[in-house]
């Protein structure tokens, strides 16, 4: 049995995107202090909204995290943290690289469509 706190999975799975994407990874262990569980619950509150915003931004076409952030109004760091989670859930995939405004290469993500 996992040592992680299960209530976040239940919260995530109750949302439409959660049912589509599967269980959210646990963010606090049962042995963690109460403050860790509170912080984990707060992440669950905004995480789903971020996923929706990112997927809507990718509906405009493939983009790197910097461009996705500009499209949806989230911070670049917030987008970057969510991209690997969306990829693990099979909702996005990396289809190459692109240069951001600073001239650095970054992964270019594409949204997975119903056809694969």
The residue ranges of every structural domain in the chain are 7-111
Q: What is the mean pLDDT of each run of 10 residues along the chain (116 residues)?
A: 44 51 58 76 66 93 95 92 89 94 93 73
Q: Are 70 and 116 in contact (CB under 8 A)?
A: no
* pLDDT value for 38: 74
Closest by alpha carbon to 110, among 49, 57, 72, 66? Answer: 57
* pLDDT value for 41: 67
* pLDDT value for 26: 60
SS3 23: coil
* pLDDT value for 89: 86
Select the CATH number that applies to the domain covering 7-111 from these four: 1.10.10.10, 3.40.50.300, 3.30.1490.20, 3.90.1170.50: 1.10.10.10
> How big is the chain by its Cα radius of gyration, in Å?
15
**In Å, what is the CA distance from 69 to each residue of 2, 46, 101, 104, 107?**
34, 15, 12, 16, 13
DSSP state of 99: E
| SS3 annotation, 61-98 | CCEEHHHHHHHHCCCHHHHHHHHHHHHHCCCEEEEEEE
Q: What is the pTM of this model?
A: 0.63
């Amino acid at each position: 049995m996992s040592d992680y706190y299960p209530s976040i999975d239940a919260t995530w799975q109750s949302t439409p995107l959660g049912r589509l994407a599967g269980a959210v990874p646990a963010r606090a262990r049962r042995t963690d202090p109460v403050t860790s569980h509170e912080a984990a619950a707060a992440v669950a509150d905004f995480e789903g909204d971020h996923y929706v915003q990112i997927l809507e931004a990718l509906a405009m076409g493939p983009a790197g995290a910097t461009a996705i952030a500009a499209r949806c109004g989230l911070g670049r760091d917030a987008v970057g943290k969510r991209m690997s989670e969306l990829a693990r859930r099979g909702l996005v995939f990396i289809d190459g690289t692109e240069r951001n405004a600073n001239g650095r290469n970054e992964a270019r993500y594409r949204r997975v469509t119903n056809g694969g």
